[in-house]
Amino acid sequence: MTAIGRPHTAPTPASPGPGGSVLDPRAVAADPDRIKANLARRRADADTVAGVDRIVELSGRRGGLVQERDELRARRNSLSDEIGGLYKAGRRDEAEARKAEVAQGNTRIAELETELGALEEELRATALGLPNLVDDDVPEGTSEADNVQVGTWGTPRTFDFTPQPHVEVGEALGILDLERAAKLTGTRFSVLRGLGARLERSLASFFLDLHTREHGYTEVAVPYLVHARIAEGTGQLPKFAGDMFRLAEPLNGETTYLVPTAEVPVTNLHRDEILEAEQLPLQYVCFTPCFRSEAGSAGRDVRGLIRVHQFHKVELVWVTAPEDSDAAHASLVRHAEEGLRRLELPYRSMLLSSGDTSFSAARCIDLEVWLPSQKAFREVSSCSNFRDFQARRMNLRYRPPGEGGKKGKPAFAHTLNGSGLPLGRVLVALLENYQQADGSVVIPDALRPYVGADRIALGD
């Protein structure tokens, strides 16, 4: 049967489909220098920046070719009409003369279409490789060192003993078993046991309840496998194929990946749709496992639950009208933060610098939770506003209100998402922040109804 293949680095061509123009081609053509300046802000490489000029050039050539082809088609259509009439009138030789002209035109049309096909494929591939533009007010910078702290909450607890890393805490309690996990799938996997497993399951219920009951999200359950085209829609493909696990065999005829985050299937739910303005905003919350190859992260966070090939996450996804996405982003961040506050975990929020903002995002706020053993804040949530970047890729539109109460032309929606929250890393934070001198771990109040215990002690 179908096996899971090794992550691959060669970009898989996703099936061609509609959309695929990443940045607004008109906007690119109108002011390529502005686009290039923005790409420079996010430290795009020279090849990427060169793609802008290539797009301008290809788009221009495309227009001419399309026009010539359409004129030939128009001629063919009218000639065909005439031929029909001539046949009916029995004027065969006149019909034959027109047939000859159509045949000639068809030859040229075929040439043009071959040329157009190649040109459009290159245009598409080039456009898909361009990252989103970062917002103007995103802080200038090259890396996470340039991120700007925009908020902080809680006070790290003071310990009268040396706080242990989560691995020591969990293994000592018998709720975390990395050795046995390694027997099954090698490094970067975990096995939870007893109240450890229950605690993780409780976090899922807790976050889902929080967001559905208090924050207005609709819960969805989705496939954990997606076709390549879907991963292209959110921006994982074509550039980051190596970050995902790919099935060794096509599924239902198409190249298929394990989801790296619920963002991918959930954001794509409404691809190729035109949503009514009244339907917006859409707010989805979705619990899924997440599979990541972690290619290129060898040696980083090798121990424990912080960086693993499989973890669980509750994800928040929004689809909004363009004018509402800034407010939605603020709400999204607040909703994710609320998860940490209810669990009484200290955190800070960081506005990512231009160089640290991910490929698809226009702006991103990371939430970082305090880990006592590392005396450091570690990322638990990236809340991003993608503006219309993903929507263009997946042809996700809505119908804005038009002039005088009439309906307007379909326009691209905005999409956003953020973790709310990842179970593994939150579990790490709980084990570390709530550990006691005797090795037990106190369960925060908010989780006690879910866990059915107020503490995890040795022997539980």
Partner RNA sequence: GGAGAGGUGGCCGAGUGGUUGAAGGCGGCAGACUCGAAAUCUGUUGUGCCGCAAGGUACCGGGGGUUCGAAUCCCCCCCUCUCCGCCA
First to last CA, the chain: 40
Site size toward RNA (CB under 7 A) is 33
Least distance to RNA, CB of residue 227, Å: 10
Least distance to RNA, CB of residue 312, Å: 20
Q: Is 42 annotated as catalytic? A: no
Which of 30, 150, 274, 327 binds RNA (CB under 7 A)? It is 274
For residue 35, which of 143, 140, 132, 139 has the smallest C-alpha distance? 132
- 103 is a site residue for RNA (CB under 7 A): yes
Of 44-52, 205-213, 372-380, 401-409, the segment contacting RNA by CB under 7 A is 401-409
- 104 is a site residue for RNA (CB under 7 A): no
- 40 is a site residue for RNA (CB under 7 A): no
The torsion region of residue 17 among left (phi > 0), alpha (psi -120 to 50) and beta comes to: beta
Q: Given 307, 348, 448, 455, which residue is catalytic?
A: 307
For residue 2, which of 260, 352, 245 has the smallest C-alpha distance? 245
Q: Is 382 annotated as catalytic? A: yes
- 307 is a site residue for RNA (CB under 7 A): no
Q: Is the peptide bond before 13 cis (omega within 30 degrees of 0)?
A: no
Which stretches within 7-45 are classed as H helix?
Answer: 25-30, 32-41
- 8 is a site residue for RNA (CB under 7 A): no
Least distance to RNA, CB of residue 28, Å: 12
Of 102-110, 140-148, 153-161, 320-328, the segment contacting RNA by CB under 7 A is 102-110
Which stretches within 221-288 are classed as H helix?
Answer: 228-234, 263-267
- 73 is a site residue for RNA (CB under 7 A): yes
- 91 is a site residue for RNA (CB under 7 A): no
Integer angstrom CA distances of residue 4 from 136, 249, 250, 293: 42, 8, 11, 12
Integer angstrom CA distances of residue 395 from 202, 207, 230, 329, 418: 37, 30, 11, 21, 21
Which of 87, 104, 303, 376 binds RNA (CB under 7 A)? It is 87
Our CB check for RNA shows the closer of 96 and 454 to be 96
Look at the block and give the residue holding tokens 């996470």: 144
In the range 41-70, which residues lie near RNA by CB under 7 A? 59, 62-63, 66-67, 70
Least distance to RNA, CB of residue 245, Å: 21
Q: Determine how many CB atoms are found less than 10 A away from the CB of residue 293.
A: 21
Q: Is 379 annotated as catalytic? A: yes
Our CB check for RNA shows the closer of 251 and 446 to be 251
- 221 is a site residue for RNA (CB under 7 A): no
- 1 is a site residue for RNA (CB under 7 A): no
Q: Is 68 annotated as catalytic? A: no
Q: Given 41, 198, 246, 292, which residue is catalytic?
A: 292
Q: Is 440 annotated as catalytic? A: no
For residue 411, which of 323, 311, 332, 334 has the smallest C-alpha distance? 323
- 71 is a site residue for RNA (CB under 7 A): yes
* Helices H / strands E in the chain, number of each: 13, 15
Beta strands in 346-391 (DSSP E): 347-351, 363-371, 376-387
- 114 is a site residue for RNA (CB under 7 A): no
- 93 is a site residue for RNA (CB under 7 A): no
The torsion region of residue 84 among left (phi > 0), alpha (psi -120 to 50) and beta comes to: alpha
Question: Which residues are at the interface with RNA (CB under 7 A)?
Answer: 18, 25, 59, 62-63, 66-67, 70-71, 73-74, 76-81, 83-84, 87, 99, 102-103, 106, 252-253, 274, 397, 399, 405-406, 409-410
Instruction: List the catalytic residues.
Output: 292, 307, 379, 382, 425
